[in-house]
Amino acid sequence: MVVEEYSEVARHYRIKETVGSGGFAKVKRAVHLPTGEIVAIKIMDKAALGSDLPRVKTEIEAMKNLHHHHICRLYQVIETSRKIFMILEYCSGGELFDYIVQRDRLSEGESRTFFRQIVSAVAYMHNLGYAHRDLKPENLLIDDEQNLKLIDFGLCAKPKGGMSDHLYTCCGSPAYAAPELIAGKSYMGSEADLWSMGVLLYALLNGFLPFDDDNIGMLYRKIKAGKYDTPDWLSPDSLILLKQLLQVDPKRRITVDKLLNHSWITNDIGVPVEWHSKHQMSVLDEDVVTEMSVHRKVSRETMKAELEKWNYDYLTAAYFLLLKKKTSGRPVRLQMTL
């Protein structure tokens, strides 16, 4: 539903400083007043979006189906005459990109911990028929429990005919883009994601990119050649995995299902990556329903029926944020009128 300027947002949120701004969006930290929880609000100007508006709608629809502990959660969408607000999970640790830069490079063990979380999120997406298509350290944020959260699904695609359908739009960031994508050929989103994961793993282990050049033409040539330096700190197992991910021929490239129990992935940990979501949406949390129905002075059945519509309105936001309070061990309490 479309409401007037900022009214709906100001009613439930206290907007604070900007934590990021890109193309046609600005992301600000905010407080969800009824629960006191911190959120991130992505603010987009519909006029500035222009022909990109459908991409935002695609992302919002995708986010409503993607519920995973390593994917940043969408809590609420508010549309006014001029703006779209996406109320999102706040990731206090900032970007994985900055985390790597601050440490030069990560140890194999720490790279493995993070990479397993990325594999979990991507396997979940691919098994639901989605491809992200813009995987890079800037789109992986760290939360207050050192967990990675995948963000920015503006380019994610769910081809009509499922994952076998070929995609054409050339998108994402050049340094992470697969050879077939920059060659302008039709490509599989899932295969392109696996290439980007190879670039990501290389960046984790080395602190710099496998293919880099200030000249875009040179960069494209390096990507298509698929040749990269192998510093002497890389273990033989790391080299094997990088080779399987950074395969120029997408048909020879490893798939995410093969990654789940890959020897480098299970090294020192012993168990394969669990990709199923820890969030389950089918059963509503009883404590949260109780707090909300008492607070709203309606029966539990009425509150459950309202919540099960998953309108991504103020009720959905209150539900998710109360649930987050509960899982973080804080009291499941609403502080003010919803």
Ligand X SMILES: COc1cc(O)cc(Nc2ccc(C(=O)Nc3ccccc3)c(OCCC[NH3+])c2)c1
Which stretches of the chain bind ligand X, using CB under 6 A? Answer: 19-20, 27, 40, 42, 59, 63, 72, 74, 88, 90-92, 94-95, 138, 141, 151-154
Nearer to ligand X, 78 or 88 (CB): 88
3-state class (DSSP) for residue 324: helix
Exposure string over 281-310, b if 16+ CB within 10 A, otherwise e: eeebbeebbebbbebbeeeeeebeebbeee
Tokens of 116: 């397993």
* Residue 2 DSSP one-character state: E
Nearer to ligand X, 228 or 312 (CB): 312
CA distance 200 to 220: 17
Nearer to ligand X, 34 or 154 (CB): 154
* 134 included as an active-site residue: yes
Nearer to ligand X, 20 or 226 (CB): 20
Contact 254, 244 (CB under 8 A): yes
- Which of 134, 229, 237, 257 is catalytic? The answer is 134
Contact 167, 103 (CB under 8 A): no
Residue nearest to ligand X according to CB distances in the complex = 20
CA distance 63 to 51: 20
Helical residues (DSSP H) of 69-206, grouped into ranges: 96-102, 108-127, 179-182, 189-206
Integer Rg of the chain from CA: 21
Sort strands 2-3 and 74-80 into parallel, antiparallel or unpaired.
parallel
Nearer to ligand X, 20 or 129 (CB): 20
Q: Which active-site residues does the annotation give? A: 134
